[in-house]
Chains A and B, each alone.
Chain A
Amino acid sequence: MRRRLSFVLAVVLAGSAALGQERFRKSPPVPDRLPELSLPKIDSIRLSNGLTVAVIYLKNCPFICAQLTILAGERDSPESLPGLAGFTAEMVSRGTPLVSASDIEERLEEIGGAFSATATLDYSRLSLVFLDEYLDRALETVSLMALRPDFSDKEVAGLRFTQRYEMLQEERNPEFIGRRQLLRVLFGNHPYRKGMFSQDVFRNIRRRDVLDFYQRFYRPNNAIVVLAGDLNLTAAARKVSRYFSTWREGEVLRQPTPPPAAIERERLCLVDLPRAKDATLFVGNLVFPIDDPDFFPFLVLNQALGGTPNSRLFMNLRESKEYAHFAFSEVDLYRSSGVFSIRARVIPSACYSAVQEILGEIDRIGREKVTTFELEQAKSYLIGNFPLQVGRLEAMTQRVSEIMTFSLGEAFWSKFYDSLMLVDADSVLGVGAKYLRSPSVVVIVGDKSALAEYLREFPRIEVYDVKGGLLYTMLKGVEE
């Protein structure tokens, strides 16, 4: 026993076995042979109207997942109407001139369907998971939604109310508020910033705006259908063609998006969330677009730094310093750029120290090689975790949709292991130095009056309200 008996009570079911335990209990077993990973094949075809159809064959799967991706996201929303891409995706399921929104809902639930619509910064996605005996009915309903939406004033008004209410709920969540503020600062005036809207935007969206967005981007030659389930390409493509062949192709003009401007100075923002008990921290940097070859070494870097509880951030901020409830890092990649961010919930009194530790860890991983142990541990996690990532139907379908949307190729699918195996400590240091030596943006979400005494050590803080409005700037804890 490692500690003094007076402090430790080891509760032992096995009684004397604690002293004379079997040898195999003392250390972890040697693993069996690493199993082969055989991922389902992706077959695809392009229909005559330009619609791309891909099929993932999953034997004996009781569900089918159908995802329709439209290559237009929040970056394509007009400057005056951020949020329009997501709003349009939601509106698509709200009725056609002949089939009401209620009837669409009934049709979906009659097939055991679970439908969702969302827009990311780059694309919009309609996703339907349903019982596998209903493929025809599912495609018929999705085609009705996607090809003949009505966008009635009544439904637009209803969705405005629902979206505002949902965002009001989100705006109580410090993680939502913190991430949104971080991305607003990182993206500056870049079109991606339009994805970081607040609930006010829904007041201004009208039927004609939704219709205009739809007409500009919802075209078969600007869309991809991915089906995953117990089906084959020929049969599935025939059925998709049957329901989507009347969808007319058209010219789609998307403005190219250059990478966002680099962050030139470190910025620290406080978002005031009255009554928040802890401080939620976000620290972030701009990185690279999704199809950049730096992806794999950076994935390993992220894992070593903050991917899981045995990574540096968690072990330092929570286990060693006891500043944080948790501390993790993640990478979100888009067509034109990417964001590396660290997320931690810390006790208020440790706010300043925790930020310094995080910045110190970012600096360290950009200057020093990860150890061989860390490198192997990170790669082992990523290789072992990959089949778990694709083990769920909707997640697998989404991954394949993204591979096709961004033309990512086999490196992200069947050659994922090979791509990771090539990563070494030098390449990890290389991407650390390349992307993490630039100034970081720090966002703290918390109750400003409760945090006030712990913020004096920061030289300059921009203070924002929950919606993101700048209230004032503090210099050494004093309002400017």
Chain B
Amino acid sequence: MSKKLLGAVVLLALAGGLGSPAAAAQDEPALPFPVTSYALKNGLRVILSEDDSLPIVSVVLAYRAGSLREQPGKTGLAYLLEHLMMFNGSLNVGPMQHIGYINRVGGEPNASTTAELTYFYETVPSNQLGLVLWLESDRMRTLEIDAAKAERWKQSLLDDLAQRTAAEPYLESSLAFDRLLFPEFMHHHGILGKEEDIRNLTPGDIADFYVGHYTPNNAVLVIAGDISLPRARELTDRYFETIPPGRDVPPPPAPRPPQKKSLVQMFPESLAPYPAFYLGYRVAPPYSADYYGLAVLDYFLLKGRTSRLTRRLIKKDKLAFFLDGGLEKRGDVAALKIFATSNTQSSADLCQKAILSEIGKLRLGPVPEEELDRAKNVLKRDYVGRFSSTLDRAMFLAEMYFSPVGLENAARELGRYLAVTPAGLQNVCIRYLMPENCIIMNVKMR
């Protein structure tokens, strides 16, 4: 390792082998894999994680460019940019060539957009790391926005939207419920965007969003797999260090505290084949002290075949034949959402009462330890599953980096979920799952 490298690399001591210098740190939890992180001069954060079990490497380049960053009238921009950057080409890479280069070596490219982030990612044979960094750096530096091709992609998104609207019978009501649960525009508008907004997007809008968000200082680059640290450092320096930083991206405005007001609404859904309803609560912000109890509550109520509501509504009382939901975070806000469909309206009504009754019981007393442990083990399985492949691990590290937890505290996260007690679960129910905080939307078949 060169002197320059030694000086710049910050060893996070998150894992065994990379060193846990102080005796006091020996009891600190560690992620079950090594992590190294450093920043380039332009502000790009690079995170490396070695794993030589297979000769593959995953690269994730995540930008703080999710739908939260879109303005009214300009929805769908983040999702459109994801497609343009995947397919349209950049200065040295022609249309479709990015995918072509990756596929030719057996790699798998993909991208996804969430409320917070847009991710671009590839898994390739590990000798092709340079190729991926060459491609990613080219589309970070330049994006070719051909007006005709932008129109084609807009049309493709509109087709996608139309297809989903036709195929997903509860899509409209789901968006309407989000507007009730998340009153602020930035949180409630859909990632796919609104039809009229997408139609009106101009090449200028696209260019502005690109220049404002797809910059090194607004991104994190994670490389996980069969790598050598000095070689990875050399390649990240070569391809990314000379890309100039963009303007500072201001954080989204702080959300207003949710009003504590219960609400029951009806939504006529043209495609709904069965009666259904949504039920939700605005809860504590993501990764706040109460968030961990709420995440466990999500598993306790809804996740897995033995969760409390699945057992009662689907198996025991047979009041619902489909039950979905969970804790959903959008930037700095979060909500617990439940969606159920029933065969008849009377079953749907009874189902809703049963959910409220089960939640009422949780407020009254602690749940059995054994039942809670089961929910925590299902959560643990899903959490550990986020490290199970190089790509999963890279995605996890990118999310942790941008979250309020930060990379340096990521190893403590699982312990926080597993430390939730029956009393802690009761407390979050008392604080957040109160009748005056409950929003319900009944879906009527048109």
Q: Once the chains are docked, how many angstroms separate the CA of A391 from the CA of B128?
A: 17
Question: For the complex, is B364 an interface residue (Cβ under 8 Å from A)?
Answer: no
If A13-B246, A32-B231 touch, does A27 touch B92 (CB 8 Å cutoff)?
yes
- The distance in angstroms between the C-alpha atoms of A60 and B50, with both chains bound, is 14
CA distance A112 to B315 in the complex (A): 21
Interface pair B130/A29, CB less than 8 Å apart = yes
Give chain A nearest CB distance to B103 CB in angstroms: 4
Contact string against B for A residues 1-30, beta-carbon threshold 8 Å, 1 for contact and 0 otherwise: 011000111111111011001101111111
Interfacial chain A residues near B321, Cβ < 8 Å: 161, 165
Q: B112 on the interface (CB 8 Å rule)?
A: no
Q: Given A8-B146, A388-B108, A13 and B140 touching (CB < 8 A)?
A: yes
Looking across the interface, which residue of chain A has its beta carbon closest to that of B144? A10
For A112, give its contact among B56, B126, B378 (CB under 8 Å).
Answer: B378
Question: Smallest Cβ distance from B332 to chain A, in angstroms?
Answer: 28
- Are B55 and A10 neighbours in the complex by a CB distance under 8 Å? no
The interface residues of chain A lying within 8 Å CB-to-CB of B156 are 325
**A112 proximity list for chain B (CB < 8 A):** 377-378, 380-381, 384
Chain B: interface residue count, which band? 35 or more
User: Given A21-B91, A381-B104: A36 and B377 within 8 A (CB)?
Assistant: no
Asked if A418 is at the interface of the complex by the 8 Å CB criterion, the answer is: no
A393 contact set on B, CB distance < 8 A: 388
Interface of B is mostly: helix
Render A266-288 as a binary contact track against B, CB cut-off 8 A, 1 for contact: 00000000011110000000000
- Chain A residues touching B, range: 35 or more
| Contact across chains for B387 and A62 when beta carbons are under 8 A apart | yes
> What's the minimum C-beta distance from A237 to chain B, rounded to whole angstroms?
24
Instruction: Find residues 124-182 in chain B having any chain A CB closer than 8 Å to their own CB.
Output: 124-131, 134-135, 137-138, 140-148, 156, 159, 162-163, 166-167
CB neighbours of A15 from chain B (8 A): 244
Residues of chain B contacted by A7 (CB below 8 angstroms): 146-148
Report chain B residues within 8 Å CB of A187: none
Q: Give the residues from 72 to 98 in chain A that come closer than 8 angstroms, CB to CB, to chain B.
A: none
Contact of B56 among A25, A63, A105, A391 (CB under 8 A): A391
CB-contact partner of A387 in B55, B134, B378, under 8 A: B55
Judge whether B384 and A10 touch: CB under 8 Å: no
The answer to whether A310 touches B143, judged by C-beta atoms less than 8 angstroms apart, is no
Once bound together, how far apart are the Cα atoms of A310 and B127, in whole Å?
21
Inter-chain contacts of A136 with B (CB < 8 A):
none
Q: Give the interface centre of A130, A158, A380, A387 by most chain B CB atoms within 10 Å.
A: A387
**Contact call A18/B105, Cβ cutoff below 8 A:** no
For B305, the closest partner residue in chain A by CB is A105
Which of B54, B127, B243, B385 meets A391, CB within 8 Å?
B54
List residues of A (278-314) whose CB comes within 8 Å of B's CBs: 278, 308-310
Contacts of B143 in A (CB 8 A): 10-11
The interface residues of chain A lying within 8 Å CB-to-CB of B306 are: 102, 105-106, 109
Would you call A13 and B104 a contact (CB within 8 A)? no
Q: Is the CB of B145 within 8 A of A11?
A: yes
Given the known A-B contacts A10-B91, A11-B211, A110-B373, are A17 and B384 also in contact in the complex, defined by CB atoms under 8 Å? Answer: no
For residue B305, which residues in chain A have a CB less than 8 angstroms away from its CB? Answer: 105, 108-109
Whether A258 sits at the interface, judged by CB under 8 Å, is no
The answer to the question of B107 belonging to the interface, with a C-beta cut-off of 8 Å to chain A, is yes
Complex interface: chain B residues within 8 A of A36 (CB):
55
**Which residue of A35, A60, A106 contacts B374 across the interface (Cβ within 8 Å)?**
A106
Given the known inter-chain contacts A8-B147, A13-B215, A106-B306, please indicate yes or no for A31 contacting B131, CB distance below 8 A. yes
Closest 4 interchain pairs by CB? A384-B106, A35-B55, A112-B381, A385-B106
Known A-B contacts: A13-B215, A14-B242, A109-B378. Give 6 more (CB < 8 A).
A2-B94, A3-B146, A11-B211, A17-B242, A28-B131, A391-B390
A-B residue pairs in contact (CB < 8 Å), sample of 27: A8-B147, A10-B91, A13-B214, A17-B244, A25-B92, A25-B138, A29-B130, A31-B128, A32-B130, A34-B125, A37-B55, A60-B32, A62-B388, A109-B306, A112-B378, A130-B381, A131-B381, A172-B167, A277-B163, A278-B159, A381-B103, A383-B106, A384-B105, A385-B106, A387-B56, A388-B106, A391-B56
